[in-house]
Every structure is written in structure tokens, then in C-alpha cells.
A = this chain, B = another copy of it.
Amino acid sequence: MKKSENLMETLTGLCKRRGFIFPSSEVYGGINGFWDYGPLGAELKKTIKEAWWKNMVQDRDDIVGIDSSIVMHPRVWEASGHVDSFTDPMVDCKECKSRYRADKLQEYREELGKKGKAEGCPSCGGELTEARKFNLMFKTFVGPVESEASVAYLRPETCQSIFVNFKQVQTVSRKKVPFGIAQMGKSFRNEVTPRNFIFRSREFEQMEMEFFCQQKDEDQWLDYWKQSRFDWYVEMGVKKEKLRLRQQTPDELAHYAKAAFDVEYEFPFGWQELEGIANRGNYDLQQHSKASGKDLSYFDDEAKEHYMPVVIEPSAGVDRTLLTLLVDAYDEETMENGEERSVLRFHPRVAPVQVGVFPLSKKLAEPARKLAADLRKHFRAFYDDAGAIGRRYRRQDEIGTPYCVTFDFASQEDSCATVRERDSMKQERVSLEGLVEYLRGRFE
């Protein structure tokens, strides 16, 4: 029995206890909206990023990647509209001093169980201030003088550096429309109320791709990308029935977007956006052309004409993908012997540890360590010789390791080991010589 609120609490606890994710600077009491990824979380994050990059850049010849700076010229954010309009409305409670997003008050009230109450502070019912606009960009100063002239921002999205670099990248890569430019990297938003674990944090990592096409092909490419991106989550092992594609309604659409679809996942806190696939038109290229005075149009050398391509943008989040994998994989069950176990049913492709290697006894540590070292050349392998074998299995179940290999006293005689599968808990005797092939065949 999984219960919504409990699942998020349980997962947050598991993540901290097993080293997936914990609050940043925790010894100093943490800092709201910032998270650190421990050994397993860092590996999982890396796997997600590599899978995205392979799918988007390496396996294709119509998309190239870039890696640009987080701090950009401040005029980028004037032209993009962020300096003026990237704001949330904010209210403060005059009594308890809590701060809320004015457009989410009802949601907070429901969460806090104040469903009946339609007014006042969600936590104490006190009087609220008028809503004020609050810009979500983190500000800093470049150079030694703190003045208006030296203000710069941490990027709130990675895509703008793709737009300002469009012409440069197109020229050096000699790509012809349709083609795309992809980027992964950190973005920062000074959220009024970071929440839902890593779902909405102040520092997060994006995976964005801007696909430049002719206007006449915009619908075709929007269709292509919304399907392709939906399929990617399924390939990462996410249950199809927990995913959906939803078209944004006209009042949800960003002002620059002509149409957009969201890939949504059913989290314990409701259906939420995992990724947006938007037709941004040529708004961004137009804005930066105007503001910079540099012509960012594309020259079609067959048609002998210049035009501004239309942009289809699939914009995904590393942290949200990671949270989805965790939520989707988490399960609890009662085993035949009556014991409870919690298990992360990760697809073997994404599991942070793919193979656990155990000696049955510490006396077998040497050959088992050697086996782990051999397997490490092919998989993310982990060696463990501490505690009873059942306990070692439980530890691997809890972090989602799909296969465990136990080296026992017979192994030295018959050159075989026992392979135990996570979900079925079935065990099979496999020759050491054929072990890599055996596992590889189960990982695809």
C-alpha cells in the first residue's frame, strides 16, 4: 500500500539514507531549494545525461551540441523578456511572515489541509499583503564594482545561449535547416517556494534542444518531437501508463509559443510537467536580432533567400527525470518468508549499480574482488562483503541493483557463480566465463 504523502517522505528518506540525494550544506542546516547528489544520485544523473546526449546528439547527424556559460551578457535577458517579465506574484502574511506565490494560494491551502478556508494565509489564516512582482533571476555583479552597470544574471534557462549562438554554430557546423542545437547544463531560478523535493528547486539542470525548421514544416516537427520525447521516457524504463502527452491550452501557452505539449507524469502530488515541447516560432531569433543589431537569419543557399527559421523546443529537466525514475521504480513487497523489502525496480540500463558482487564468506574476498574488477570494465559494479548474504541482497534491492553475483566455495571448483535477479529473486548458476555475455543480454 503506497500512500501519496508517505511515498514522497519515504523516498526522501531513502535518498538521504542511501546517498542518492541530500540537502545542500546540511551540516549548516541546509539552504532551501538546493540539493546535493551523493554517490548513487550522481551516477544516476550522469546516466540520464549520457542517455539524452546519445539520443539527441551522438546518434544523429542533424543535431550538434554546445556548452555555454551560465553567466551571459545582461542584454541577453533584456532581449528575451526575462528582465521585465520573468516574475512571480508574491504575498507575505502580515502575522506569521510566511511567504507564498499569490497564484498558488489555493494549492497551498489544500496541501496544508485548510481546504475550507478560501482567504488569508494558508498556514495561520492571517491577513496577506498585496501581491508584488518578484523577478526569479539570481543577480550578481561582474568585476569589482557593485553597480547597475556590472549587474549580470545566472541563466534561468539554457536555451537563450543557443539562440544567441545560432548563427555562429550554424556557420561553423555547416548544417542546413532542418537541424538542431542541444545543450545540457545548470539553470537557476530564485523560486519563492521551492517544493516537492527536487521537483522545484532553485538550482537545477536542464537538457534543451532547439530544432530549427522551415515554417511550413513546423507541425510535422512538433509532432515528431513530442512523440520522440515521450518515447524516450519509456525507453528509460518509466511505466507508460503513468505518462501522458497533454496539449497546453491557449491560456497556458507562453506568449511567444504558438503551440506546446507537455509530457506529464503522475507523481504522488498529481500529474506534473516533466518536459515541454513547444513551437517557439521565430520569436527568440527575432528578439536577439533586433536587440543586438546582428542579423540572425538563416541563408538558404538552394532557394537563395534569407529567413528566420521556426524553433521546435523539447525542454527537459535532469532532476525531474531523476525524480520520475525514483518514484516510478519504488516498490514495497512482502516476501515469501514474511519479511518486507523495499525495492527500486530500475531498468538495468539506468540503475546506478548494475551488478553487485559478493563473496559468500570473507575468505573468498580475493577472487570476488577480482571478479568485481573484471565486471567493472563492462558495468557499474559494486563489491560488498559485509553482513549476511540476505542483508546484502536487501541493500542492493533498496538501491535498485538488477543483478547480484555471489561467489561461493563451489565457485573455485566449478568456475560458476550464483546470479540473483532483483524482481523475481530467482537464482541461477552461471559460468564465470559467460557472465559478461549473460548480463549484457539482460541489459538491452
Contacts and interface: CB of A to CB of B under 8 A. Distances in A.
A138 to B, nearest CB: 5
A67 B45 contact: yes
A172 B41 CA distance: 12
A346 to B, nearest CB: 18
A394 interface: no
A215 B32 CA distance: 36
Contacts of A29: 73
Interface stretch (A109-117, A160-168, A269-277): A160-168
A64 interface: yes
B68 A37 contact: yes
Contacts of A291: 28
A71 B31 contact: yes
A120 interface: no
A25 interface: yes
A90 interface: yes
Given A22-B168, A372-B61, A139 B142 contact: no
How often does this chain occur in the complex, in copies? 2
A391 interface: no
B26 A168 contact: yes
B164 A386 contact: no
Interface in A33-73: 33-39, 41-43, 45-46, 53, 58-59, 61, 64-73
**Interface centre among A25, A71, A294, A372, by most B CB within 10 Å?**
A25
A317 B53 CA distance: 22
A39 B64 contact: yes
Interface in A68-113: 68-73, 75-76, 90, 99
Given A144-B99, A203-B71, A65 B36 contact: no
Provide the main secondary structure of the chain A interface.
mixed
A134 interface: yes
A234 B371 CA distance: 29
Nearest to A64: B39
A38 B169 contact: yes
B67 A36 contact: yes
A188 interface: yes
A43 B65 contact: yes
Nearest to A295: B27
A190 B142 contact: yes
A34 to B, nearest CB: 4
A126 interface: no
A31 B73 contact: yes
Given A164-B27, A172-B19, A190-B144, A36 B69 contact: yes
Nearest to A20: B172
A257 B303 CA distance: 64
A73 B30 CA distance: 7
Contact of A172 (B17, B34, B46, B172): B17
A43 B28 CA distance: 37
B165 A73 contact: no
Contacts of A380: 58
A88 to B, nearest CB: 9
B39 A161 contact: no
27 contacts: A22-B165, A22-B168, A24-B72, A24-B73, A24-B161, A25-B76, A26-B164, A27-B167, A28-B164, A31-B71, A36-B66, A36-B69, A36-B165, A37-B67, A38-B66, A38-B165, A38-B172, A39-B169, A39-B172, A41-B67, A42-B183, A45-B67, A46-B67, A58-B376, A61-B372, A61-B382, A140-B154
Interface of A: 17-19, 22, 24-39, 41-43, 45-46, 53, 58-59, 61, 64-73, 75-76, 90, 99, 134, 138-144, 146, 152, 154, 161, 164-165, 167-169, 172-174, 183, 186, 188, 190, 192, 202-203, 288, 291-292, 294, 296, 369, 372-373, 376, 380, 382-383, 386
